[in-house]
Chains A and B, each alone.
Chain A
Amino acid sequence: MATETTPSSAPAKVKRVAIVLATGSYQREAPTTVLRLVEKLLQRGVDVNVWAFEEAVTLTNKDQIDHNEPGSLQKVLGEKHPNIGRFIDQMIRAGLHGAKLDWVSCILCVQERGVEKHQMGGSIVGTLGDLWKFVKAADRVICIPTYR
């Protein structure tokens, strides 16, 4: 007689993660950390929804330009310092063939900072309603603190 197995009490694997980010370009390390983490989550087939507000809406400004590194650092870092929007763009596009990254910038925050018309393709200008839906749908919500 077969032994009856106990149903697994292990929680279902996380399929969707929402990340709330308020730190902008060149302010602190948080955007870099978020991108490092998003890349790993996408590799695991996890869909990621990023809600960017306050200064984080500048991360997807398409008019950022690569700038030259100081001469003394070029041997270490290379000649050009790439902008962060380029990495976000690459990860959004990677979702065409794998797990999906949605990157939503808060409409009030982009308007306040004059970057509404400068958002790169792929990122979406959205409302708090989108944040609510992200949170509601997520298996995990990660809120990255902004240091004051």
Chain B
Amino acid sequence: MARYLIVDSRDLTEYTNGRYIQKVAGKLKEDGNDVTLFLIENGVIAARKGGDIAKNLTDLSKRGAKVLVDDISCKARGVAQLADGISQSNVDQLADLITEGSDKVIWY
């Protein structure tokens, strides 16, 4: 089992392969890995409560993955309400995850 940190800085709706990275996260979790999906920049748009992709992210968190969003990116985009299962985070926590909380880092 490995600890995967997937950082998503793109709007998941902007590129079709946004679906791919969610599938990768889900599959890695399914295979027994520890998975954290960290949304930053336009990536946080998908975490807004009520959105279609937000439902997928909630589902991902129900399957045991951690889904985190950068607080500054949310404030900059007016994302105030997060979908269920998604937690607010910050770059401090991202640095901790990179240095101590992960074995592999993927930046999408």
Q: Which chain A residues have a beta carbon within 8 Å of chain B's beta carbons? A: 11, 13-14, 17, 28-30, 33, 36-37, 40-41, 43-44, 46, 140-145, 147
Sample (28) of A-B pairs whose CB atoms are under 8 Å apart: A11-B103, A13-B100, A14-B99, A28-B41, A29-B9, A29-B41, A33-B9, A33-B40, A37-B95, A37-B98, A40-B94, A41-B95, A41-B98, A43-B95, A44-B95, A44-B96, A44-B99, A46-B95, A140-B99, A140-B105, A141-B105, A142-B107, A143-B107, A144-B9, A144-B107, A145-B9, A145-B10, A147-B15
If the complex has contacts A37-B95, A40-B94, A41-B95, are A14 and B100 also in contact, measured as CB distance less than 8 A? yes
- Determine the chain A residues whose CB is within 8 A of the CB of B24 once the complex forms: none
A-contact bits for B31-71, CB 8 A (1 contact / 0 none): 00000000011100000000000000000000000000000
- A36 and B73 CA atoms in complex are apart in Å by 12
Q: Chain B nearest CB: distance from A81 CB in Å?
A: 16
By Cβ-Cβ distance, the 7 closest A-B pairs, closest first, are A40-B95, A14-B99, A29-B41, A36-B91, A142-B107, A40-B91, A41-B95
Contact of B99 among A13, A29, A36, A144 (CB under 8 A): A13
Minimum CB distance partner of B72 in chain A: A36
A-B contacts besides A40-B92, A41-B98, A140-B99, 7 pairs, CB < 8 Å: A37-B95, A37-B98, A140-B102, A141-B105, A142-B98, A147-B10, A147-B15
Minimum CB distance partner of B108 in chain A: A145
**Are A30 and B103 within 8 A (Cβ)?**
no
If the complex has contacts A30-B9, A142-B105, are A41 and B41 also in contact, measured as CB distance less than 8 A? no
- A142 and B42 CA atoms in complex are apart in Å by 18
- Determine the chain B residues whose CB is within 8 A of the CB of A17 once the complex forms: 98-99
**Are B99 and A41 within 8 A (Cβ)?**
yes
- A14 and B40 CA atoms in complex are apart in Å by 22
Minimum CB distance partner of A143 in chain B: B107
- A36 and B92 CA atoms in complex are apart in Å by 9
Q: Chain A nearest CB: distance from B75 CB in Å?
A: 13
Contact of A14 among B9, B94, B98 (CB under 8 A): B98
- Determine the chain B residues whose CB is within 8 A of the CB of A40 once the complex forms: 91-92, 94-95
Q: Chain A nearest CB: distance from B30 CB in Å?
A: 23
